[in-house]
């Protein structure tokens, strides 16, 4: 099927040839050498949220305030150069970074031996999506799912109210900010998600409050397991 967006992208690639966002090497949006600069997290890691540990099995936060989902897996720490890649992708409009960053998520999925039936991106509120022009989590989820040959559902989970940016909020304020902010369409979600293993995809996670708020309606719709998969987390 003819895809207008694909034609436009090919035209843009012809007019403005790809060059690596980091080293400017031609032919790549993120060349293999610069991609390899993204360092994975080194064990020991919390079995629940992947926070680096010195001992024990679970980090203090998960021992005290367990994530309200089955677990969280992270590609890398929120540090350079990944931090800059995410910023360019999310705020500077460089959508083409979604492909290598989605591949990074797929590699993380494989490294941790994750098992899923489908992917669901964290939805943006329609107002925020209009302002940005796209949902970065949706682009990541689609790239990751394509790599792994798994379905991605972009309409089953909706953000039903506008929420403030989480970056400067405390843990309690984050939880309150996103509480009941997401909903599933009961009929279609139940048919699709009952007894399924779901992975929620986002770019950055700090406390896990947004992922937990997304997981709640998915569990109510009958999901068997709900996991988070993100690019980075401040460590």
Question: Where in the chain are the domains?
Answer: 1-37, 42-233
**Is the distance from CB of 70 to CB of 226 less than 8 angstroms?**
yes
Residues contacting 200, CB < 8 A, separation 6+: 69, 119, 120, 121, 122, 211, 214, 215, 218, 226, 227, 228, 229
Instruction: Report residue 229: phi and psi, to 5°.
Output: -135, 115
Instruction: Report residue 75: phi and psi, to 5°.
Output: -70, -45
CATH topology of domain 42-233: Rossmann fold (3.40.50)
pLDDT in tens, the chain (235 residues): 334 555 665 666 666 678 999 999 999 999 999 999 999 999 999 999 999 998 778 998 888 888 889 999 999 999 999 999 999 999 999 999 999 999 999 999 999 999 999 999 999 988 889 989 999 999 999 999 999 999 999 999 998 876 655 555 455 555 555 667 788 877 677 788 999 999 999 999 988 889 999 999 999 999 999 999 999 999 8
Q: What are the CA-CA distances from residue 126 to residues 109, 130, 162 (Å)?
A: 29, 6, 8
């Amino acid at each position: 099927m003819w895809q207008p967006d694909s034609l436009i992208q090919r035209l843009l690639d012809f007019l403005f040839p790809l060059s690596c966002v980091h080293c400017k090497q031609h032919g790549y949006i993120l060349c293999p050498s610069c991609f390899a600069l993204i360092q994975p997290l080194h064990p020991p890691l919390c079995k629940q949220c992947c926070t680096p540990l010195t001992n024990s099995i679970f980090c203090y936060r998960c021992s005290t305030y367990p994530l309200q989902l089955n677990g969280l897996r992270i590609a890398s720490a929120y540090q350079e150069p990944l931090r800059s890649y995410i910023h360019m992708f999310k705020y500077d409009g460089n959508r083409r970074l979604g492909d290598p960053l989605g591949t990074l998520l797929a590699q993380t999925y494989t490294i941790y031996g994750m098992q899923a039936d489908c992917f669901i991106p964290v939805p943006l509120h329609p107002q925020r999506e209009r302002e940005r022009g796209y949902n970065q989590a949706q682009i990541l989820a689609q790239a990751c799912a394509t790599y792994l040959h798994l379905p991605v559902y972009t309409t089953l989970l909706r953000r039903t109210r506008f929420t403030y940016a989480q970056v400067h909020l405390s843990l309690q304020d984050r939880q309150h900010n996103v509480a009941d902010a997401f909903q599933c369409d009961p009929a279609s979600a139940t048919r699709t998600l009952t007894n399924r293993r779901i992975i929620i995809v986002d770019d950055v996670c700090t406390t896990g409050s947004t992922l937990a708020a997304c997981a709640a309606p998915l569990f109510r719709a009958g999901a068997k397991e709900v996991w988070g998969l993100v690019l980075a987390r401040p460590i």
